[in-house]
Amino acid sequence: LVSDLRDIERYESGQMRLEMGSVAFAQVCRESLIPLQQQFEDRQQQVVLEVRDDLPFIWGDHKRLIQVMTNFLTNGNKYTPPGGKVTVKVDESVNLWDTEGARRVLHIQIIDTGIGISEEDQKRLFREKYFRTDNAKATDQPGTGLGMVLTRGLILQHGGQVWVESELNVGTTFHFTLPLADEVMREAT
């Protein structure tokens, strides 16, 4: 909690510094999952990584990207019932989401078979600190309502975009994009 509060304060004040470099996102996905594996096993949830090792490098802060993925995976674990499934898909894509940004990006999807998020709550999820849904199926889960706001801030600071698609009682897909390292280097020259 204290760490998230500090990070949000740094982000909002423009004081959060990222240690940028070329990052292999497949490695970020694997490293993010390691400390959460037991939580998924305890809830008998299946985790599927559809991530190729030969994906192009992205330009980012390895540590902060692990934080982003950990937040999304923890969210999937908390709001997916026992026996459910969380899938991570990563593909290289033309940037259809941000015409001002890099031409090519990694498009990351975290897909769960969880309780879903109402349309009204989707609008608030990434923007309101301390926001917690009043969905009865979610209120028994621990959390502060800071994780998704911080996650959005980190993705935007990396030059990416983030959004959510969800259907109540069916599941949620979180999407985000990150610029490829060679795109960032090309723009810098």
Q: What is the pLDDT of residue 25?
A: 97
pLDDT at 139: 47
Domain-by-domain residue ranges, the chain?
2-184
- Three-state SS for 88-104 is EEEEEEECCCCCCCCCE
Per-residue pLDDT, 130: 47
CA–CA distance, 76 with 70 (Å, rounded to integer): 10
pLDDT of residue 131: 52
Average pLDDT per 10 consecutive residues for the chain, totaling 189 residues: 63 78 97 97 97 95 96 93 97 85 90 90 66 53 65 93 93 96 72
Find out if CATH 3.90.320.10 is the number for domain 2-184. Answer: no
| DSSP letters for 21-78 | EEE-HHHHHHHHHGGGHHHHHHTT-EEEEE--TTPPPEEE-HHHHHHHHHHHHHHHHH
Please state the pTM of the whole predicted model: 0.84
